Amino acid sequence: MRRLVIVPFRKSLQMAWQSLRVRFFRSLVTTMSLVLAVAFLSFIQTGSDIAGGLLAGDGATYQQLLLQAGYDLSTDGNSIGGSAKQRWIVFLSLLVCVVGIINAQLMSVSERFREIGTLKCLGALDRFIVRIFVIEAALQGLAGAVTGALFGALAAILAALVRFGLAAAAHLPWPEIGTTILAAVAIGTLLSLLGVLYPALVAARMEPVEAMRVEQ
Amino acid sequence: MGEKKKIVRVSGVTKNFDLGRIVVEVLKGIDLEIEAGNYISIMGPSGSGKSTLFNMIGGLDKPTAGKVFIDEVDVAQLDAYELAWLRCRKIGYIFQTFNLIPVMTALENITIPMTFAGVGDDEAVRRGMALLDQVGLGGRHGHRPAELSGGQQQRVAVARALANSPAIILADEPTGNLDLATGEDIIRLLKELSSTNGVTVISATHDYKMLNVSDQVVWIRDGRVDKIQQREELDITTGGLSSNH
Ligand SMILES: Nc1ncnc2c1ncn2[C@@H]1O[C@H](COP(=O)(O)OP(=O)(O)OP(=O)(O)O)[C@@H](O)[C@H]1O
Ligand SMILES: [Mg+2]
């Protein structure tokens, strides 16, 4: 008995992309919690990047303003002390977001039980099913994280300009903000992948007989 | 007759479902041999175990005891890759609920099994179009399942089942969700394919229209083969039935 060839990656990517595109609204809802969490992360981090930039650029002017705005400055007053409370909230929001993704992906797996069963009847290997779900999550994660990171950073920049005046624009630390955005995108994509692992395994373990079930 | 190749051989198959407190014996020892190229109908009352037997033949489920041979290969001995190969190349499945992938067009649905079989894109599209023509849906290749009627969806499903020129088509109540006329169309199509392509069609059904086209009817009752009727006997009995009514 011969063995089945493995579906080329390009073809899997195409199928995953199509599945996302056609179920656009559904995918959007799944991605929404990720967008929000990543936006929050990016907002907070960009905010402290900006504060750092202001201190470094014109400490004398901004030290007082920053304190008034509620930033924790380190004892020497030259750098931004990371607030443990803030980090904790960001961490919690990311955690909630992963749980949300797991939930949404599990739901999508059970909505698609017939499709998955059928694919298996047509000769799909378990790993192909996992791959489809992982690719879909990666695409969703990337799109959601980029959107969230950009929105968060933009919001933080606008907030800073409103709070500290347009002059603050001169001291915006662009390299740091760029790094923050990239990091937020990476974290968001990772979270999306983390959230799909268990649902993808559930999907892959689904029996092909499921496709035969008649009752909805 | 006896010299023809046995494409499916079921020997002493039993199937129990363990529901924790009780064990349901669904199949109680089925022996069955199916010749290549025949059109077989499996008939029997609801709950008699037709679908269960089907899943065994299709390599979708494992018997509790006994063996299923497809083309003289013991299905239980296959590993995951070989089983996938069997499902992809040897068997075409047709479902009562059509089971087309909703996000894909008719043509894409037909070409998935070819992709799994490693057929190149151009070749797959060419063959897919030819199959669509064969099932009478030329020109509908760009339509999604939601844009097709039930009968048309089932035609696409028939084309998909034929994608890799399988030896066997397994159809569990293929007309169960279709109206009379559309159901007849699908049956005629299946019969045509079985005679022109030499595919063995095995179909479970409640549908007496199927009897007319069958080479052999296997009656299942309470998990056992009740009787097997050949085409010739059928003509007599169905004739007899209609005169009684
Ligand atoms: N997964 C399962 N777990 C427990 N019992 C099952 C399972 N699948 C089938 N059965 C039982 O096996 C029996 C036969 O079911 P099966 O679906 O094979 O009947 P069928 O002949 O196909 O009936 P129908 O004509 O209504 O489709 C039924 O009593 C059913 O409850
Ligand atoms: Mg059934």
Q: Per-residue pLDDT for chain A (216 aa), expressed as one digit of tens each?
A: 566 677 888 889 999 999 999 888 888 888 999 999 999 999 999 998 998 888 888 888 888 888 887 777 766 666 666 677 888 999 999 999 999 999 999 999 998 999 999 999 999 999 999 999 999 999 999 999 999 999 999 999 999 999 888 888 888 999 999 999 999 999 999 999 999 999 999 999 998 888 777 664
Q: What is the pLDDT of residues B39-65, one digit of tens each?
A: 999 999 988 999 999 999 999 999 999
Q: Is the Cβ pair A123, B117 closer than 8 Å? A: yes
Q: How far is the CA of B48 from the centre of ligand 1 (A)?
A: 7
Residue A4 sits at the chain B interface (C-beta within 8 Å): yes
The pLDDT value recorded for residue A77 is: 61
pLDDT at B189 over 70: yes
Q: What is the ipTM of this complex?
A: 0.89
Domain ranges of chain A: 14-52+83-158+175-213
For atom 31 of ligand 1, the residue with the nearest CA is: B47
SS3 assignment, position B221: strand
Q: Is the Cβ pair A4, B176 closer than 8 Å? A: no
The CATH class for the domain spanning B37-55+79-238 reads alpha beta
The pLDDT value recorded for residue B211 is: 82
Q: How far is the CA of B183 from the centre of ligand 1 (A)?
A: 23
Tokens of B26: 């669904």
Q: Note the ligand closest to the C-alpha atom of B26.
A: 1
Instruction: Give the closest-approach CA distance of B13 to chain A in angstroms.
Output: 18
pLDDT at B244 over 60: no
Q: Is the Cβ pair A4, B95 closer than 8 Å? A: no
Taking CA atoms, A96 is separated from A36, A37, A40, A107, in Å, by 11, 9, 12, 17
The pLDDT value recorded for residue A55 is: 86
Is B17 touching ligand 1 by the criterion CB < 6 Å?
yes
Q: What is the pLDDT of residues B137-151, one digit of tens each?
A: 998 999 999 999 999
The pLDDT value recorded for residue B34 is: 93
Q: How far is the CA of B201 from the centre of ligand 1 (A)?
A: 21
Is B51 touching ligand 1 by the criterion CB < 6 Å?
yes
Nearest CA in chain B to A121: B87
pLDDT > 70 fraction of chain A, expressed in percent and rounded: 92
The pLDDT value recorded for residue B240 is: 42
Q: Is the Cβ pair A209, B60 closer than 8 Å? A: yes
Buried/exposed B194-233: b ≥16 CB within 10 Å, e otherwise: beebebbbbbbbebeebbebbbbbbbbeebebeeebeeee
Is B23 touching ligand 1 by the criterion CB < 6 Å?
no
Taking CA atoms, A52 is separated from A24, A58, A82, B71, in Å, by 40, 10, 11, 73
The pLDDT value recorded for residue A78 is: 61
Which residue from B84, B103, B117 is facing A125, i.e. has the nearest CB?
Answer: B84
